[in-house]
Amino acid sequence: MTSIEEAPSKLVLKAGSTTLTFDKDSGKAILQQKMLLWNKKPVEFPLSEIDDIAVKSEVDGLSGAPIHHSVMHRRNGEITVLTTEEAKDAAETVKKLRGFVGLHS
């Protein structure tokens, strides 16, 4: 389940083991992820380093079911999967995140 808490200068996305915070006041994003029982080191980067947030869709090889991810692309080429949701929900998540950081279609 994906949760988005939004205030005028801060947005926090929580999805499974991922927490992503966008902070306009500091101009930074903080990505926190867990692997099994361990917290990975938080990754902090400027909001200006985000060059796209999009829905990536694929088909599960075993079941044939469609899978929809919201993904964040950074200028350094790194792509991070943020959520796995139904198509409509992933599109809404991407719309909120893009709007907050000022990415427009």
Percent of the chain with pLDDT over 90: 90
Question: Reduced to 3 states, what is the DSSP secondary structure of residue 66?
Answer: strand
Strands (E), 16-93: 18-23, 28-35, 38-39, 43-46, 50-59, 66-74, 79-85
Query: Which amino acid does the sequence have at 75?
Result: R
Phi/psi for 47 (5° steps) reads -60, -30
How many whole angstroms separate alpha carbon 37 and alpha carbon 5?
Answer: 24
State the pTM of this model. 0.90
Residue 105 reports pLDDT greater than 90: no
Per DSSP bridges, beta strands 43-46 and 50-59 are unpaired
pLDDT in tens, 19-61: 999 999 999 999 999 988 888 999 999 999 999 999 999 999 9
